[in-house]
Structure 1
Amino acid sequence: MKRYNDTTYALLGILTTECRSGYSIKQFIDRSLNHFWKISYGQIYPTLKLIVQEELAEVRTASTPGKPDKNEYYLTSKGIETLKNWLEQPIEQLPIERNEILLKLFFGRYQSHENQILLLQNYKQELEKRYATYLSIEQAIIQHENHDENSDYWLFTLDYGKRTTQAAIDWCEFTLKKLPMG
Structure 2
Amino acid sequence: MKNYNHTTYAILGILTTECKSGYAIKQLIDQSLNHFWKISYGQIYPTLKLIVEEGLATVDTSTQEGKPDRKEYYLTSKGIDVLKSWLEQPIEQIPIERNEVLLKLFFGRHQRKEHSILLLNDYKQKLETRYQTYKSIEQVITTHNRGEDSQYWLFTLDFGKRMTQAAIEWCNSTLKQLENKEELK
TM-score category by the smaller chain? Answer: over 0.9
Deviations 1:69-105 (A, max 9, x none): 2111000000000000000000010000110000000
Report the Cα distance in structure 2 between the residues aligned to 1:46 and 1:147, rounded to whole angstroms.
Answer: 28
Q: Quote the offset at 1:148 in angstroms.
A: 1.6
Q: Name the structure 2 match of 1:89.
A: 89
Q: Name the structure 1 match of 2:23.
A: 23
**Which ranges of structure 1 fall in alignment gaps of 5 or more residues?**
none
- Residue 172 (structure 1) aligned with residue 180 (structure 2): no
State the SS of the aligned residue for 1:18. coil
State the SS of the aligned residue for 2:59. strand
* One-letter identity of the residue aligned with 1:150: D
Report the Cα distance in structure 2 between the residues aligned to 1:91 and 1:164, rounded to whole angstroms.
Answer: 19
- Residue 160 (structure 1) aligned with residue 159 (structure 2): yes
* One-letter identity of the residue aligned with 2:9: Y
- Residue 150 (structure 1) aligned with residue 149 (structure 2): yes
Q: Quote the offset at 1:147 in angstroms.
A: 4.0
Report the Cα distance in structure 2 between the residues aligned to 1:134 and 1:33, rounded to whole angstroms.
Answer: 12
* One-letter identity of the residue aligned with 2:165: Q
| 1:39-118 correspondence runs (5 A) | 39-64=39-64, 67-118=67-118
Report the Cα distance in structure 2 between the residues aligned to 1:131 and 1:102, rounded to whole angstroms.
Answer: 19
Deviations 1:90-130 (A, max 9, x none): 00100001100000000000010110000000000000000
* One-letter identity of the residue aligned with 1:82: V
**Which ranges of structure 2 fall in alignment gaps of 5 or more residues?**
none
Report the Cα distance in structure 2 between the residues aligned to 1:120 and 1:77, rounded to whole angstroms.
Answer: 49
Q: Quote the offset at 1:64 in angstroms.
A: 4.2
* One-letter identity of the residue aligned with 2:110: Y
- Residue 135 (structure 1) aligned with residue 135 (structure 2): yes
Q: Quote the offset at 1:143 in angstroms.
A: 0.2
Report the Cα distance in structure 2 between the residues aligned to 1:68 and 1:51, rounded to whole angstroms.
Answer: 21
Report the Cα distance in structure 2 between the residues aligned to 1:159 and 1:89, rounded to whole angstroms.
Answer: 23
- Identity over aligned pairs, percent: 73
Report the Cα distance in structure 1 between the residues aligned to 2:31 and 2:64, rounded to whole angstroms.
Answer: 25
Q: Quote the offset at 1:149 in angstroms.
A: 1.0
Q: Quote the offset at 1:161 in angstroms.
A: 0.0
Q: Quote the offset at 1:65 in angstroms.
A: 5.0
Q: TM-score, normalised by structure 2?
A: 0.95
Q: Name the structure 1 match of 2:123.
A: 123
Q: TM-score, normalised by structure 1?
A: 0.97
Task: Spell out structure 1 runs of 4+ moving beyond 3 A.
Answer: 63-68
Q: Name the structure 1 match of 2:7.
A: 7
Q: Name the structure 2 match of 1:35.
A: 35
Report the Cα distance in structure 1 between the residues aligned to 2:71 and 2:153, rounded to whole angstroms.
Answer: 26
